Structure 1
Amino acid sequence: MVTTATQRLLDLAAIAAASRDEDLLLQLLEEANALYQRGFETLRGVVARRVDGTSPEVLVAVVKAAGLPCDASQDRDELVLLLALTEWEMTPAALAYSEMAEDAARRGVCLVPEE
């Protein structure tokens, strides 16, 4: 059986929610973060291909229509990144990861160590 990255993220989120072990929670969060980053990079590539050939003016208009602040001085990569991030944040994988990270933070577990 093949598990997709989205399914794995959903599974990790469910395991994390039920876990009381901080070390396990951190391991789950690390794996989920790697899947989140890979998924976002994949989607960023899809968005870049989708808008390939779009004029800078139209691309700025698309970003603004998505409700994101931007201006014509931003380069194409920045605009693609904004569009991809907006789209990615609404995916089940990203939503599961965000909820998992927020829950872990409430329990004092975070990928960024406190100083």
Structure 2
Amino acid sequence: MANASVFGGADVPFSNNGPLFGDVVHIAGMTTFSVPNAGIYKINYSLSITAGIGSAMAIAVNGVVDPSTVVNVLVATGNVSGVAYLNLAAGDVITLRNNSMVPLTLGLSPGVGAQLVIEQVA
């Protein structure tokens, strides 16, 4: 099984794209997503980790972690997920960040190491 490390303070890279609706922009292999319109967005994420207990995941907007989105990683292996509703401006850049000094390891192959869904709800 292939794995990928995400060091403390680093953003999670997303190697592939699923369907991109509503002009959300992401380049495969990069860490950033941008939203086209101002509004309220629902952001769901899920990680499959093989190491990283004590780390914390959060959503960063334009490079700044939104404190309402921090989820502490309390499992040594398994799934970690979070959901947040954020009021975003047109062109805001979203990343999923390891908001700790503890590195975590994503299990990649044959499954999915990380998923992120951004949906404009209002």
TM-score for the superposition, normalised by structure 2: 0.24
Q: 1 or 2, which has the higher helix percentage?
A: 1
With normalisation by structure 1, the TM-score equals 0.25
More strand by share: 2
